[in-house]
Structure formats: structure tokens, C-alpha cells
A and B are shown apart, each in its own frame.
Chain A
Amino acid sequence: MSLEKHSADVGVTEDGVDYDELEALLGERVIDRETHLNAEGFVVRPDEVEGTLELLREEAGFDHLSMVTAQDYPDRYESIYHLTKYDDRTQEVSVVVPTDPENPTSESAASVYKTAEWHEREAYDLVGVDYENHPDLRRILLPETWQGHPLSSDYDQDKPQLVTLDEHVNPLAESSKDSESDTMFLNIGPHHPATHGVLHVKAVLDGEQVADVEPDIGYLHRCEEQMAQQGTYRHQIMPYPDRWDYSSAGLLNEWAYARVAEDLNDIEVPEYAQIVRTMGAELCRIAAHMLALGTFCLDIYGDFTAIFMYAMRDREKVQNILEDLTGQRMMFNYFRLGGVVWDLPEPREEFFAKIRDFIDDLPETLEEYHDLITGNEIFQTRTINTGVLEPEVAKQYGCTGPVARGSGVDYDLRRDDPYGYYDELDWDVVTEDGCDNFARLLVRMREVEESAKIISQCVDLLEDWPEDERNIQSNVPRTLKPDPDTEVYRAVEGAKGELGIYIRSDGTDKPGRFKIRSPCFNNLHSLEAMAEGEYVPDLVAALGSLDVILGEVDR
């Protein structure tokens, strides 16, 4: 191995990753190699996880732990760490950790990647793998009293369960031994207007300042992964992505499933359909960001004020367009594997005119928002320099999307790992260096402008598309049965960030394992880093600026 090489560049080549070099770097630790469709996987022993991941991060520059997937096979439990780089998304590697079925224990990665903490808790909760040295291995989505691990194969779904309605205890109490502790414990949620759904934030206050905060999630855990594992690839899974991020980001989510399933089954998508997809997805992004903006201001101003109504008005316009396109207001179910379900509505001129009107009005609308929101002194005082998230911290927590870009992390899958029609169009990735609540809001507002740019280019293209070349779907077999044990992890840029799906096929027409990497899950984890030392209203603002959708956090 050449020592003069820059330390974080091991294995970097012009066109991808040199896996042999990585294997040499890891040396003895690698006991086997697996090929997944997206990347090579190195199989390591359960007691080598920490060392392996640390080497990969420090020496090879894999600083982004996208997701941890756990699953059980007849003969073993397995955890897969999906690694990639913030600087170059196309470089990926997986670390596969098999453990024995009787006593599934493997080493935790939480000391290397902060984000692994939550992912491993989830893996423990749903699949039942035990992670050694994990700082706080508890259930995360299901209630503490739950019996069994629902995504493991020996789970009996008909067993009765008990759920308690406990008062919550002061989590700092044990650290200060006297009974008269200086801190106060405050529950926020799960029913609270500032939590954006059913989130429970356990906050410990020292005076007025937040000493400790722990989001307690799982109040909307709708078993999405189980639902997807029970559906057939061709039609039965597509409706569910709409319901992960339900802030009208439906088409973006559908794309996540479409992309992974198309890669898994080797399906081409006609160019025309790609443009329709791109246009629809960006309309969804606008709708989602409008909601984020409206509810963020709701958090800051504390009432259903004009700004919320303005944002809803503009969402209403986008939803009308999307309704024309897909036939539904929210749960579009518009994508199909290999394309979309139907062509643009007739008369096309009217539809295009409607989009154009919306796009033309948008600069003025955004000007209004800037007058109302970003120009407001009180708003600035409330948001600038509150909820600070440094870029390195954001990377540790695996933050993506507007949250990462608001911290200056230039990471956008539409550009870094191109799919659809994005690389043919002219647009920019928006970043802000503020690292605070204000920056995240600005990123969203500027992204709306970029989306509008993309949409208008798509409209131009679609308008001139020859009538006999409007292929909305390619030929897809009625039943899809990928080869057994094909594994793939693919992600798209959802409204909140990297939305990825891992699928392992078991040779049937349903996925053997379907794991969702939701951006909100990682983003919400970073709340503890943003809120500590802040006041409660700033905690609420920070939560609002993260723009979490609980349906996607809990899945």
C-alpha cells in the first residue's frame, strides 16, 4: 500500500470505487465478499464492525452512513451498513455483518457514526439483533412492553400485547443524586400543535434552557415495511410510498420505489415518461416545501396567521395541477414500474397553460413571502443563530436534504447520483452556510425557485414532443420475479433528503426484505444536537425547521 496517498482517498478511481484496494485496506477483517446491485459488500465478523467502519471512514472517506438494514435468514441474522460519501454519492460500499441465529449479537457502529444509534435501535426493535456497546439500546418505534420483534420470522402477529400509559420520569434524575433536582422534565406531545403530528419530545429544562431533549417516536409506526413485503412488485407496493411523506411529496417517494424496483428488474423507462416524472416530482417538491414553510411559520408565530393561509393557497394551486395530472389530490399512485400510468391530461395546451400561469406567478409570490417572513425583524431574531447545526455534526447524524444543505453540505442526489431527466436540465443545487433555522428556511424557498426552473424546462420539452413518440410506459412483464438473493439499495432526493430503499429478493414476486431509509428519521435524530442549550421556543423552531413528517420518521 502506498503511504504517500492522501489518507481519505483509498480506493477512489475515475469511474467508481476500487473494491480490491478497499479489501486490501481492510485486510484480515474481510471474511467474504458479496455483490449487491449497487455496490460490493464486505462481510465481516460481528466483533470487527467498529474497526472496519472506522477504517472505511478515516482512510477511504466513507463519511455517510445512509442506513442500517437488519434482516433474518433461516441460518443467520444479518446487518448491512450502507456507506457512501457526501462528496461523491456514486461511491458506495456495504458492510455485511452476519450473526448467529441463536444469539444475534454484533458490535455497534454508534461510536463511528452517530446516526447508527437510532438505526440500530430500530433494527433491534423490529428484527431483534442485539448491538454490543450501543449506548442506549431500547425499542424505538414500538412500545417498551411489546413482546417479540415483528420483522423477524418467528413473530406471531396474533399474540395479545399490552401498552402502558406511564408518566415519564426525569431522565436526568439519576445523574443528580439529591431528590431536589434543579431540572424540570417537560413532555411535549404526542398531541401538541408544534410537533407536526404525533411526536413526543421529552425535554429536560434547566431553568428556561433545554438541558436534554429526546424525541420519542413510533406514534405513527404503520408497519410500512411489512406492508411492502406483503405486496407484489408490479402493482401492490406503489400506493404505499405516497403515504410515507404525505406532505404531497407523493411522486418523489414513488420515484424511490420505482427507481429501486426498476434497477432490480432491469426495466428501462422511456424518455418521455422520465420527463413527465421529473415534472411531476418537482411539482410535488414545491407542494411539500410550501407546507414546510407554512407550518414553520405557524411554529414561530404561534397561530393560524396569514402566512399559513398564503402557503396553503399556493399549495392548493399545485395540488390542482397535480390532480389534473394524476387524478388524485394527495395519494397519487401515478408512477408505474417502467413509466407512468397515464399521459398528460387533454387538452394539453390548457394543462401547460395552467402550469405556466403558476410558474409565472411564483416570483411574485415568493417576493410576498420574503416580505412577510424573511424580511420580518422578529422572525429573523427568532431564527438566525438558533438551532445551529454544524456541517460536521450534520454529517455525523446522516442529515440530508434541505437540513444538510442549510448547513452548507453540498449534497443532492438529483445531481450527485443522477436519475430521471435531471442531468439534462439546467438548474442548481441550493446551499446556505448559515447552519441555523433561518438558513434551512431559505434553502427551501430557493429550492422552490429551482424546482420552478426544472418544471418550466420540462413543460417546454413536453410541449414539443412528437405525438407518436409519447411512450409513457415500457414493456414490463406481468409478474416480476427477480433472481433470488439479489440485493439493491437505491435512493432518490425526496422533499426532505435522501430517500432510499433496500430490497432483497427471495425469488418470489414479493420482496424478501424491504427496508426504507427515510431522511426525516436521520434529520430528527439531529434535534438533540440543535436544541441543547436553547430555549423551548427555539426547540420548537428547530423542530419546525427540520420539517419532519412523522409518517416517514416512523414508517
Chain B
Amino acid sequence: MSNEPRENIHGSTDPQTKTREARTGPGLDNRFNSKLREAFGSSPFILTKFDKFMNWVRGSSMFMLQFGIACCSIEMMHTYAVKHDLDRFGSGVPRASPRQADVMIVPGTIVSKFAPRMKRVYDQMPEPKFVVNMGSCAISGGPFQEGYNVIKGAEEVIPVDIHVPGCPPRPEALVYGVVKLQERIANGESSPVTVKPYELEQFGDLERDELVEKLADDIDEDTLVMRYNWADSP
């Protein structure tokens, strides 16, 4: 039976070796050596809290969603490209699919037509996920804040960890923002979710008011909708 121990498979009965040389055997190259590794000497173990280790891992290999909206995305591309090279900081792997990314940089103006789509992309990212707001538009609507169609910041739609101000911020500023985010993640600091309730609602669940009544014939009850109350937005 497979759940019974088998006689012919067992751990090594050789005595534990005392030194690394003895363990790795002769003839291996020392490419895996490092000063740190030498310092550990014969007992190459470190003790840490699992959470701390995981946070360090999360902060040190961040996969960015390849996500361009507006002007800021040009500067974001420069941040990824030769001169500024975000990858140096362990956080510059652009992923085209939200399912492979854990950081979303929101580089640009979010308008009413795009907000539900952006929310859907955000929802498709695996946990834990982080959001960097890039530029004035993503923070507050920026120079377009008074427009009839402009969402006054990404925080109306998704929770945000870091805001990088500027119009657009220089690549250096974005690098700084991302590094700050890494620092916070590594320290296990997560930002409180300060957003208003942002879920998409089903049309049928909306409060019946004039607008809903007017659209009732055109929209299916189960259709997901986002409702903008422009008068109440900041």
C-alpha cells in the first residue's frame, strides 16, 4: 500500500558532515560562494519569521502590469527603458497580463468609460497586489479635474498604495515611488484601504431613481454597472 512505509526507500545513513567542503565534495566550482555564505560557515541556516521572509520576497521581485493610459505612460516607458532601467531595483518585469502581475502603475487620466474596465483589470490581478498612482490625473483628475467625464483620481475606483505627484512625474520620481513601495512591502506595511466602496453593482440592485428608471428598458438586470455621482465626488 502506498500509505505504508517502504523498506527500500530511506534517508541516508551516512553521518552528517561537519563542514561545507565535506558536504559539497571536492571538485565543485565556487561560483555559488559569497561573502555572506562564508560568514554563515558550517551552518548555512538563517532564522527569520516566515512573514518577514515573504514580505522581503514580495518586495524584491515585483511584476509590473504593462498598463498605459495617457501621457504618464510615456514616462513610464522611459522608466523601464535604457537610461532609468527600473529593473535594477528588482521591480521591472513588465507583464502584459494582469494575471501575472502584482503591481499596477496607473499612469494617466481615468475617465468614466475606462474606470469599470480598469477595475476589472485590477480585480484580475492575484493577491497580494499593489497600486502606484502615477501623476496628478491618477491622484485627483489633475488638469482635467473639472471635466464632465473625468474620474477624480484612481482611488474612486481601486485602493492605492503610493502616489507619485507630477504632470507627468519624471522617471526618477516613479523609480523613487516604486522603491518606496518596495520598502513598505518589505516592512510589512500595507496601506489602509481608504477608498469609497468601489464594487461594480448589478443594475438590478441599484436604487430606483430617475436615471435608473430611464435606463431600465435598455439595461439587463444582471449587467454590471458603475454609477458616478458627480456632485458627490471630491
- Tell me the nearest residue of chain A to B171, going by C-beta: A329
Are A222 and B230 in contact, CB atoms less than 8 angstroms apart?
A: no
**Contacts A243-B143, A309-B81, A331-B71 known; A158 to B149 CB distance under 8 Å?**
no
Selecting from B3-11, B55-63, B116-124, B190-198, the interface stretch reads: B116-124
Per-position 1/0 for A488-515, Cβ under 8 A of B: 0000000000000000000000000000
Are B113 and A142 in contact, CB atoms less than 8 angstroms apart?
A: yes
**Contacts A165-B120, A191-B67, A219-B113 known; A160 to B78 CB distance under 8 Å?**
no
B31 to chain A, nearest CB (A): 28
A190 within 8 A of B: yes
Q: Which residues does chain A contribute within 8 Å of B219, judged by CB atoms?
A: 145, 162, 164
**Contacts A166-B223, A248-B74 known; A316 to B83 CB distance under 8 Å?**
yes
B126 within 8 A of A: no
Q: How far is the CA of A191 from the CA of B77 in the complex (A)?
A: 16
Per-position 1/0 for B65-101, Cβ under 8 A of A: 0111111011101101111000000000010101000
A159 within 8 A of B: yes
Are A165 and B112 in contact, CB atoms less than 8 angstroms apart?
A: no
Q: How far is the CA of A166 from the CA of B116 in the complex (A)?
A: 10
Q: How far is the CA of A329 from the CA of B231 in the complex (A)?
A: 35
Residue of B70, B78, B223 ringed by the most chain A CB atoms within 10 A? B70
Are B114 and A219 in contact, CB atoms less than 8 angstroms apart?
A: yes
Q: How large is the interface on A (under 10, 10 to 19, 20 to 34, 35 or more residues)?
A: 35 or more
Are B81 and A308 in contact, CB atoms less than 8 angstroms apart?
A: yes
B179 within 8 A of A: no
A218 touches which of B113, B118, B144 (Cβ 8 Å) = B113
Q: Which of A188-220 contact B (CB under 8 A)?
A: 190-193, 196-198, 218-220
- Tell me the nearest residue of chain B to A147, going by C-beta: B211
B200 touches which of A165, A190, A331 (Cβ 8 Å) = A165
Q: How far is the CA of A196 from the CA of B108 in the complex (A)?
A: 13
A257 within 8 A of B: no
Q: Which residues does chain B contribute within 8 Å of A315, judged by CB atoms?
A: 78
Q: Which residues does chain B contribute within 8 Å of A316, judged by CB atoms?
A: 78, 81-83
Q: How far is the CA of A247 from the CA of B230 in the complex (A)?
A: 30
Are B144 and A551 in contact, CB atoms less than 8 angstroms apart?
A: no
Q: Which of B9-65 contact A (CB under 8 A)?
A: none
- Tell me the nearest residue of chain B to A287, going by C-beta: B74
Q: How far is the CA of A329 from the CA of B143 in the complex (A)?
A: 17
- Tell me the nearest residue of chain A to B218, going by C-beta: A145
Q: How far is the CA of A159 from the CA of B227 in the complex (A)?
A: 11
Are B227 and A160 in contact, CB atoms less than 8 angstroms apart?
A: yes
- Tell me the nearest residue of chain B to A313, going by C-beta: B82
B168 within 8 A of A: yes
Q: Which residues does chain B contribute within 8 Å of A550, judged by CB atoms?
A: 70
Q: Which residues does chain A contribute within 8 Å of B148, judged by CB atoms?
A: 150, 155, 157, 223, 226
B167 touches which of A141, A142, A304, A331 (Cβ 8 Å) = A331
Q: How far is the CA of A98 from the CA of B174 in the complex (A)?
A: 50
B229 within 8 A of A: yes
Are B75 and A227 in contact, CB atoms less than 8 angstroms apart?
A: no
Q: Which residues does chain B contribute within 8 Å of A159, judged by CB atoms?
A: 211, 230-231
- Tell me the nearest residue of chain A to B69, going by C-beta: A198
B226 within 8 A of A: yes
Can you pick out 19 interface pairs between chain A and chain B where the beta carbons lie within 8 Å of each other? Answer: A143-B112, A145-B219, A159-B230, A159-B231, A161-B228, A162-B219, A162-B225, A163-B112, A163-B228, A166-B223, A197-B70, A220-B69, A223-B149, A223-B150, A246-B71, A247-B74, A313-B83, A316-B78, A331-B71
Interface residue ranges, A against B (CB under 8 Å): 141-143, 145-147, 150, 155, 157-166, 190-193, 196-198, 218-224, 226-227, 230, 239-240, 243, 246-248, 291, 304, 308-309, 312-313, 315-316, 329-331, 550-551
